[in-house]
Structure 1
Amino acid sequence: MVIAIGFEGSANKLGIGIIRNDEVLSNIRRTYITPPGQGFLPKETAIHHRENVLEVLKEAIDKSGVKVEDIDVVCYTKGPGMGAPLNTVAIVARTVSLLWKKPLLGVNHCIGHIEMGRLITGAKNPTVLYVSGGNTQIIAYSRKKYRIFGETIDIAVGNCLDRFARVIKLSNDPSPGYNIEQLAKKGEKYAHLPYCVKGMDVSFSGILTYIEEKIDFLLKQGYSEADLCYSLQETVFAMLVETTERAMAHCGSSEVLIVGGVGCNERLQEMMNQMCIERGSKLFATDERFCIDNGIMIAHAGAEMFKSGTRMKWEDCTITQRFRTDDVDVTWRDD
């Protein structure tokens, strides 16, 4: 039996979770929310994490019902992510590791999402669509690595949606992407936007620039803000479904797993599920508890690493803002 605690703080979500042999004991999260029209900057996000981390840690331990001495390993997000928030949470993880005299493991944020998705949904060997504010990748496992078959060549899909939400001054509470999703449900008129699939890769910056520059014109043409949210979602999600299907065909896969914060979007799940039905395949997805950045996914991935014999030297327990998914040796899978 392995009990692991995980610290997540790569962006505006601060999360700490504790897991015992695949059983979620606690999963506490705090989100840094900025005013409408504004994004979150590294310095202010790090301050938010620093001010809240001890309270979240205490709540996670209290809710889990475990004693500190029973914890086997301390896990934290090594990257990718924003430097200042990553470093703030990593320092806390390093400190408690020393105080509690427990081994420390740095976890790849993307791997955390994938392994948590596999645990919660029961997906065996899926083609993974990882979509969040900072990452967009199409991934499949092969020979001890999670291989990236396609990715964004500029900004992430979540970043594209978030930045459009700022243009139309949507609230950031609970998240700009969620509020775009709700407004898009009221959209009725589709505005044609650039469709940027380049081989297995996707590009979102041009779509964002186009809609930003044309928004006044489109509004005068009778498109509502709801119509534009609807149009943006339909376009970028179609791109993601297309590239995911191509990866499935290449790998001979019959499963798709959507992970990451944007993976909560019901319209994306609906479009992906339709593609899966047509291919005789199955879609796996989770809700906001596990899609959105959280500490339990870091705890679970760290526990899997720990059980497979992975250990890290103290001097390697640093952070890196650009920590690619395919840089990780997947020691815990034998298939």
Structure 2
Amino acid sequence: MNNPVPFKAATLHDVARTAGVSLITASRALTNPKLVSSTTILKVQAAAQAVGYIPNLLAGGLKSRRSMLVAGLVPAISVAQFLPTVQSLTDVLSQAGYQLILGQTGYDHAHEEALINTMISRRPDGIVFTGLVHSASARERLQRVGIPVVETWDLSERPVDMLVGFSHVKVGSAIAGYFLAKGWQRVGIATGNDHRGGLRREGFLAAMGRDVPTAVVPAPSSMGLGRRALTELLEKDPGLQAIYCSSDQLAQGVLAEAQARGLRVPEDLAVCGFGNADFAADMQPSLTTVHVDGAAIGRRAAQLIIDRSHGTPIEQPIVDVGFRIIERRSTSLAHDRSC
């Protein structure tokens, strides 16, 4: 049997020869087109496509000390509330010539630190975290290597570098205040076991001034876990009036279990979620939830990375995007309104 012919990638020399131009002209046409004519650009691009040439970004990065890569770390790619952030982050970076690469931490701080080390070894031009970097050694390492870092979806007075987020404690406090304004005293919490869900629970309990029945489920949330959470909460207090859920996915499951038990929402049991998922307004009943502008978080984070990479001074390294409660049918008999 004949040995297969080894694959040989097309080079810039192949492009130049096919286009009938010098090597430097071919390089300029592909990397700095302002220096050559439009006719030459078209000729070189056609030659590159004909020979199957793919630029070696690593080689270019070694010369410019820029990789044109930005690393994004998310707890779980499947979590719907993070998708607008990832999408806008990708769009803004792409427009500036950067490529986003994603890593999944799985809500595991040890895995997060290992992933940080892997990302640092790739020398990206920036790293965007969903949440805060909790490991002291990882924080110190990131600051030492000097890679621009943006932490998101949380708030801290001492970020690793830059931050775009909001206070989860204030979210929990606002929801508790909303429940109290409705006159509900027998309330419960269905929450994931993640750090941010825990902060919202702390804020809720502080505003309530007492402990309340709580069902804690593994993150990431799901409809099935929401059904399980309501079962547990009703065992603790069959007379619950309202439940705050740490995600809309959990709330979706709570609503399904309530309907299966013949409970009317909101007459027998009011339900509030978090995240304003794309299905929240279309559920039956529509779901009261907390809206955070995830797309704005992604845009601001991307721009901070781009500005820092280009040496632009950062006037506001900590950005609080805030949040708002969107009241819908699951907690109100009135017409939908935002508050």
Larger radius of gyration: 2
Same fold (TM over 0.5): no
Structure with a larger share of its residues in strand: 1
Q: For the superposition of Structure 1 and Structure 2, which TM-score range results when normalised by the shorter chain? A: 0.3 to 0.5
